[in-house]
Amino acid sequence: MTNTDAKKLTWPNMLLALVVVLALGGLVMTLLSPVMGHQENISFNHWYGNWPVMAGAAALFIAFLLGFVRPRGAPAWRSAGMGTAFFIALFTEMFGIPLTIYFLSSYIDVSPGLFGHQQSHLWAFLLNWTGLLPMQWAVYVVMALSMILITTGLVVVTLGWRQIYLARSDLVTSGIYRYVRHPQYIGFFLVILGFLIQWPTLITLAMAPILFWMYRRLARREELVMIEQFGDTYRDYMARVNGFIPRLR
């Protein structure tokens, strides 16, 4: 794909990214509207045990993972399986059974019922508990940072997927691929990091490093295939463009 082709696809790319962000982000923002709208905190009993929302949120993000990160082959499906397990564990604790809250409450000797919706943002709870910020402001800080990361990740994944889809089997080195070789994985990592900030749990904090390692290893496997297919052309591309962190120059 040429740079001219990439420019022609700018507006369709942005439109597709906007649709994905609105679909996925809209669910999160709707569920968190009581906090963002200055309404009262939702109690523990009213927030948890919401299994239909848990199932819907998990299904939506699993579909995003399978549809846009595009697993192919056994290693890719193993990585996707770990990603699927991550989202199931995340939304189970976010809307279903808060295992981390139960563990934390027993450790600090408080009732789990004290963890309403706002207090369940554990980084916000920590900021408030240490006296750094009032709870409402702590939730705003956590939500703002997490939503920036999640939205950026969704946009990056969508743009990378769009270019690869339209290029078919051709080598893509333009557009977002001018800056990094694996934008879809980078975007996925940003989504994961955003959720770890928004709603950290013991299980997801333990799974995230494994998930990052698996996709980094998968990227190396895919690059060996690309070298076999495109030879020196891809080697030159690797010499010019980093895999995951854009070069400053």
Q: Along the chain (249 residues), what's the average pLDDT of each consecutive run of 10 residues?
A: 38 53 55 49 89 90 82 85 95 95 89 90 93 92 92 88 76 89 93 95 96 93 92 93 86
Q: Is residue 174 a part of any domain in this protein?
A: yes
Q: Is residue 185 a part of any domain in this protein?
A: yes
Smallest Cα–Cα separation from 141: which of 201, 189, 197, 196?
A: 197
Domain that holds residue 52: 3-240
- Over its C-alpha atoms, the chain yields an Rg (Å, rounded) of 20
pLDDT confidence of residue 138: 94
The total number of structural domains in the chain stands at: 1
Phi-psi region of 73 (alpha: psi -120 to 50; beta: other; left: phi over 0): left
Backbone angles phi, psi at 28, to 5 degrees: -65, -45
pTM of the model: 0.84
pLDDT confidence of residue 37: 47
pLDDT confidence of residue 12: 52
Q: Residue written as tokens 């000797």?
A: 109
Q: Is residue 248 a part of any domain in this protein?
A: no
Q: Is residue 246 a part of any domain in this protein?
A: no
What is the CATH classification number for the domain harbouring 59?
Answer: 1.20.120
pLDDT confidence of residue 65: 85
